[in-house]
Amino acid sequence: MLATLTGLCQQTMRTAIAADDDLVAKGLNANKALALIKQFWMQTGIELDVNVFYLNRTPRAIVEAIGQGCVQPTDKILLLREGDGTRPLFLFAGGVNCFLETQDLVDALTFEGAIYGITLTDFGRPAGSPPEVADEVECAYRAMKTIQPEGPYRLAGYSFGGVLALELARRARVDGDVIEALMLLDPPQNDHSWPLLLWAGLMRRTITRQVKSVLGKLAGRALRRGKPSAERQGDAGAEAPRPGLDASAAHHSPPRRGHQLFFRFRNPRHPDYPLYAPQWAGGYTPAYDACARQLLQMKGLYRPSVYDGPLVFFASTSGSPIDCNARRIWKAYLPEARWVSASGNHLSMIVARKARKLAAVMDMHLRLIPISTSETSAPAKSAAA
């Protein structure tokens, strides 16, 4: 098994990997980790947790954990980076709980405190009665208290993790805790809570973009039909997917259904609700599939309300092609927010050079150095505005 895992690590990461190499230090990112988890599951039937690489950082340590039955870690809190334990930062990841997605940002922060990741809880409830954000926040609050019993607290969250950080701050304030820093990194809302005019504008742009894409594909096919037969066969061979790649996942994780135009009108409590979400791709491994379904139902049930405490909201300048402009949908609910533009789109804002720029501004806030104006680098007009 060690040879299989090490070989898949080399194949996925496209670099030499030894059994005792720290995979995160060697450059393992979220996309490569998910591909590695899927390939390992398809070959062995064993599914690794998306955050196993923080608890067991080498191929050998992962195989030893498998032997001990620790395939799916139960830790609610992950240590992402060591530092001053008296002033930690608690971070929620985006997507389905994968903290490797935020690794560039974590590495770039010069904040001296320890950085902890708060993972999602597997509630294991039937799809017809899914957990809500309040359930997750209560679990997160208790877990945070085991690490830092008394405030003040520093919280951050990327993507839907920003919603969890916001609601955790609200929960902490109910008990009289002080929130020293709250940073929301481009959190979306769900289609159901977007203002009607913003939603209609996004649907218009989405449909226009998709129509152009279809017309482009049809034009490409017409060009290929005009080529000699040998060239057509070469093109087809280059585009053909690897046979059977997703076959083993298809029975429990089907592809996305429907169109985003109708998603706003679906019931988040319906078991098939996640399959219609614009974020759904399908072909996931079993535990990842279950976590994704739970998260999307949780997101669909969430309704924002006013938070009157201070916070910093980092809005990506290029937005997201599937979500309404973050600033426009949140401004009414966050009267004390400081709005800061983050270079890039929703995905690229926390990667590489853009992550370093974002980390520099986050460091200013974590050190309580005032930002000179209430808005830094005014947001450019977003394609998803």
Residue 306's region, left for phi above 0, alpha for psi from -120 to 50, else beta, is beta
Residue 35 included in any domain: yes
CA 232 from centre of chain: 39
Confirm whether 311 is domain-assigned.
yes
Kindly report the CATH number assigned to the domain that includes residue 8: 1.10.1200.10
3-class DSSP state for residue 13? helix
Is pLDDT at 119 greater than 60 in this prediction?
yes
Q: Report which secondary-structure segment, H or E, holds 12.
A: helix 2-13
Which pair of tokens denotes residue 19? 């059994």
Work out the average pLDDT over 255-269: 95
Q: Mark whether 164 and 23 lie in a shared domain.
A: no
Residues 182 and 95 in one domain: yes
Q: Is the pLDDT of residue 371 over 50?
A: no
Same domain, 178 and 85: yes
Whether residue 102 contacts residue 348, with contact meaning beta carbons closer than 8 Å, is answered with no
Residue span of the structural domain in which 14 resides: 2-67
Q: 138 with 184, same domain?
A: yes
Give 114-180 as a 3 state SS string: EEEEECCCCCCCCCCCCCCHHHHHHHHHHHHHHHCCCCCEEEEEECHHHHHHHHHHHHHHHCCCCEE
Residue 309 and residue 167: Cα distance in Å, rounded? 11
Contact 218, 200 (CB under 8 A): no
Mark whether 149 and 102 lie in a shared domain.
yes
pLDDT value for 187: 96
Statement to judge: residues 168 and 44 lie in one domain: no
Is there a domain that residue 227 lies in? no
Number of residues assigned to the chain = 385
> Hey, CA dihedral for 324, 326, 327, 331, is it positive or negative?
positive
pTM over 0.85: yes
Mean pLDDT along residues 355-362: 97
Q: Is residue 183 within a helix (H) or strand (E), and if so which, with residue range?
A: strand 179-185
Query: Omega before 149 cis (within 30°)?
Result: no
pLDDT reported for residue 74: 76
201 part of a folded domain: no
Question: Is 212 a member of any domain?
Answer: no
Of 46, 67, 88, at which residue does a domain stop?
67
Candidate from 227-231, 331-335, 349-353, 373-377 with smallest mean pLDDT: 373-377
Tell whether 122 is covered by a domain: yes
Do 55 and 16 fall within a single domain? Answer: yes
Q: 107 and 38 share a domain?
A: no
Residue 365 structure tokens: 């806030």
Number of domains in the chain: 2
Packing angle, helices 2-13 and 59-67, rounded to 10: 140
Whether residues 81 and 188 fall in one domain: yes
Q: What is the largest CA-CA distance in the chain?
A: 74
Is 179 in contact with 363 (CB distance < 8 Å)?
no
Residue after which a domain boundary falls, among 17, 38, 67: 67
- pLDDT bucket at 384, cuts 50 / 70 / 90: very low
- For residues 18 and 159, what is the distance between their CA atoms, to the nearest angstrom? 34
State which of 25, 42, 67 marks the end of a domain: 67
Residues 106 and 178 in one domain: yes
DSSP state of 246: T
CA dist 275 and 282 (Å) reads 8
Residues 310, 185, single domain; the answer is yes
Residue 118: beta bridge partners? 77
Q: What is the reported pLDDT for 176?
A: 96
3-state secondary structure of 93: coil
φ and ψ of 62, to 5 deg: -65, -45
**Surface-to-core class of residue 315, CB atoms within 10 Å of its CB (0-12 exposed, 13-18 middle, 19+ buried):** buried
158 in a structural domain: yes
Return the amino acid letter for 61.
A
Q: Whole-angstrom Cα distance, residue 267 to residue 216? A: 34
Whole-angstrom distance, CA of residue 377 vs CA of residue 339 = 9
Residues 87 and 39 in one domain: no
pLDDT digits (tens, 9 = 90+) for 5-22: 999 999 999 999 999 999
**CATH number of the structural domain spanning residue 175:** 3.40.50.1820
Task: Specify if 148 maps to a domain.
Answer: yes
- Mean pLDDT, the chain, integer: 89
